[in-house]
A and B are shown apart, each in its own frame.
Chain A
Amino acid sequence: MKHEWPLWEIFIRGQHGMSHRHVGSLHAPDAEMAIKNARDVYTRRNEGVSIWVVEARNITATAPGEKGPMFEPSESKVYRHPTFFDIPDEVGHM
């Protein structure tokens, strides 16, 4: 036979209410085993409270060539950032 186990991407949510974050990949025969392997490989140091696994071939990603149109337009929307606005010190913390 000689088939390699599929590749899975592993996402873990840490202790402090942050979102799941990509931590790495591993191989597993199916999703259930991928979860277990992720537990054994990526949470050995108490790193997580929740695990997502996604088979790598099911991930759709932006193409590197699209970087300009995808991300540059947001560079000019400076007013979306709080530092855009000057608030006098007398107003206090905002």
Chain B
Amino acid sequence: MYAQMVKSTGEGVKSRDDMSPEEVAFQDKVDADIKIEPRDWMPDGYRKTLIRQIGQHAHSEIVGQLPEGNWIARAPTLERKMILLAKVQDEAGHGLYLYSAAETLGVTRDELTEALLSGKMKYSSIFNYPTLNWADIGAVGWLVDGAAIMNQVPLQRTSYGPYSRAMIRICKEESFHQRQGYDIMMKMAQGTPEQKKMAQDALNRFWYPSLMMFGPSDAESVHSAQSMAWKIKINTNDELRQKFVDQTVPQAEYLGLTVPDENLKWNEEKGGYDFSEPDWSEFFDVLKGNGPCNNDRLNARVNAWEDGQWVRDGLLAHAEKKAARKVAAE
């Protein structure tokens, strides 16, 4: 997902007997669906896990601007250019909302940014794949945003108030993203033979990376169990992946495109599709920095940050001078 393999305390869920009275009261609130707010007492592990998760989610939005931004200058019509620009702009907005939510936990946006740029914090593996033809912009909206929405919709109910509110705003804005992606795919799939080829090529390249977005199976993970008890993770990775496949396969069929999986087959008994696992060794390679675009993505963010330093400093210096002049005049 946009936040993948987030580590929690690593100790698993504490039994009630092992909890301090504060921890018991905290867990009771979470269980009763009462939101945790910034100044409420919270376990240290909850705070740290949330910072990691929300921060990674925010970084993913910002790095996620890059593969789609790659096609703004080449969008084929004025309208497509505006839609794409508005969409990539929304990603910047989502990053901003999420950084703001993280900031309520006692970390600054600059600290989070530096952790991203130094490689200390990660972003979603999916954004390390390239966008090579125009249909990729359709595929990103359809598959990547589609997968993200699977996770983001339930997160609107997450226990941490500011995170939940950010997710509500994001989901509201996100609803046009997946549709615009599918709209591009429809045009391409119904278009010229070359356009159909682009559409199939995009699906071929983005299918497995999209499945990887949910992360490896976490049914046995102690981190996930703790995160689910705290309601900062709502479903298991496998549940979401299954739901995504079940939703997406008929959409691909409607487009007349072939999902690149020979083992894909409807399973009447479970009421869902059987499908092949992605190559998890590739996933771990990408996380380690060896995806096709890791270097380009991080370099782009480093450049934006370093080249922007004088701008941030300059505008702040002016604001401080202006305030000082105002005081002097009074």
By a beta-carbon cutoff of 8 Å, the part of chain A in contact with chain B is 1-5, 7, 23-27, 29-30, 33, 41, 44-45, 61, 63-64
Contacts and interface: CB of A to CB of B under 8 A. Distances in A.
Given A5-B315, A7-B103, A33-B319, 7 more contacts: A3-B316, A4-B108, A4-B110, A24-B165, A26-B100, A44-B89, A44-B90
Interface of A is mostly: loop
Given A4-B108, A4-B109, A24-B169, A61 B39 contact: yes
B258 to A, nearest CB: 37
B315 A33 contact: yes
Given A27-B109, A64-B40, A45 B97 contact: no
Contacts of A45: 173
A1 B317 contact: yes
Interface of B: 37, 39-41, 86, 89-90, 93, 96-97, 100, 103, 108-110, 165-166, 169, 173, 309, 312-313, 315-319, 322-323
Contacts of B90: 44
A63 B39 contact: yes
A29 B315 contact: yes
A25 B322 contact: no
A29 to B, nearest CB: 4
Nearest to B313: A1
A30 B109 contact: no
Given A25-B100, A64-B37, A64-B41, A5 B93 contact: no
Contact of A41 (B86, B93, B166, B319): B93
A74 to B, nearest CB: 18
A43 to B, nearest CB: 11
Contacts of B37: 64
Contacts of A25: 100, 103
Contacts of B166: 24
A1 to B, nearest CB: 4
A45 to B, nearest CB: 7
23 contacts: A1-B313, A1-B316, A1-B317, A4-B108, A4-B109, A5-B316, A7-B100, A7-B103, A24-B96, A24-B165, A24-B169, A25-B100, A25-B103, A26-B96, A27-B109, A30-B319, A30-B322, A44-B86, A44-B89, A44-B90, A64-B37, A64-B39, A64-B41
